[in-house]
Structures are given as structure tokens and as C-alpha cells.
Amino acid sequence: MKLETIKVGRIVNAHGIRGEVRVQPRDGDPGFLTRFRTFYMDGRPITPTAVHVHKNVVLMRLPGVEDMNAALSLKGKELYIRREDAQLPPGQWFDDELLGLPVFDETGERLGELTAVENYPAHKVYTVRGEREYLIPAVEGAFILSIDMDAGRMTVRVWEGM
């Protein structure tokens, strides 16, 4: 289902004494967060005055956050973006949008509902729960045959032993 806002990161700590915060990106690519000018925290828009990648996190300076204590007070806060601002290429979705999607095998039999997306080094793995639980590698063509958000369904190939 298409969401209005997408969770993209979490403030994990302060960085230095001048009020910068360390943001852990949710889906691994810190450079993705540098594309946005407006984030949402606690339902309110916030426009960072500086955003840059440092190692595997994003450092942000937020308005009104001038020292380490103010930055530490934001620790644990989630950052969101508006879905329409993301401008993903056709056929790509955020993990949160896939949750709850009915999953069918290539014969049309319903396997269950996508309940979780786990990130592994090689690729993501989808957890599908129905009468039984399936762990399906998110590899297009091999396991994931199609994702049709308009029809609200995912079609997968179930290999023997899954």
C-alpha cells in the first residue's frame, strides 16, 4: 500500500559539541538521505541546515539544536520523508509499502501475507506468513516474479524445499 510518509532513519547520537546529530539510515544507504531538504520528526517538518555522510551514518545540523545536550535530547527520534518526495523509479518501493501485501505463488495459490523484510548482506529476505511461514529471497526473476501495487499482490516462485 502506498504510504504518505516513509521512515528513513533514526537519530542515534550527538556528534561533537556543536549540536550535530548522527542519523542511522534505515535501509543502509546514507547517501539517499542527502537528497532530501525536508524531513518529518514527531509529525512536524524540519529542514536541516547541513547534511553530509560520515562513514555509514548521516550527520545533520537541525535548526534550534546548538549544543551537545540539545542533540542528545533527540536521541531515538525517527525521521520520515514524504513518499512523493522520494521519486523512486517505476517498479521500486519502500519496504514499509510492501508489508501486508498478499503473496501468491505462480499457480495463483495464496501463500499468505508479507509480514517482514529483513536486510542481509547479499539481498533482502521477505517473510510471508499464511498456513506456514516462507522466507523468500528478494531476488527478481528467480524468486520474485512480480509486484503489482495497483492490484495489491506479489507473485513469487516457490522452489522445492522452501
Q: Could you tell me what percentage of the chain is helix, strand and coil, using 3-state DSSP and rounding each to the nearest 5?
A: 10, 45, 45
Backbone φ and ψ for 97, nearest 5 degrees, come out as -70, -25
> What kind of architecture, by CATH, is found in domain 95-156?
Roll (2.30)
Task: Specify the 3-state DSSP secondary structure of 123.
Answer: coil
Percentage, residues of the chain above pLDDT 70: 97
Q: Considering only CA atoms, which of 12, 71, 68, 79 is closest in space to residue 43? A: 79
**SS3 for 86?**
helix
- The pTM (predicted TM-score) of the whole model is 0.81
Residue that wins the pLDDT comparison between 90 and 157: 157
Q: Please compute the mean of the pLDDT values over residues 15-25 and round it to a whole number.
A: 94
pLDDT (mean) for 25-36 = 88
CATH topology for 5-86?
A: Elongation Factor Tu (Ef-tu); domain 3 (2.40.30)
Q: How far apart are CA 32 and CA 89, in angstroms?
A: 14
* pLDDT band at residue 1 under the 50/70/90 scheme: low
User: Domain locations in the chain?
Assistant: 5-86, 95-156
Residue of higher predicted confidence among 87 and 51: 51
Q: How confident is the model at residue 27 (pLDDT cuts 50, 70, 90)?
A: confident
Tens of pLDDT along 53-106?
Answer: 998 999 999 999 999 999 999 999 999 999 989 888 888 888 899 999 999 999
Residue 21: predicted pLDDT? 97
Residue 48 is given by DSSP the state -
Using alpha carbons, select from 72, 70, 11, 1 the residue that is nearest to residue 39: 11
- The position carrying cell 525521521 is 79
pLDDT of residue 36: 94
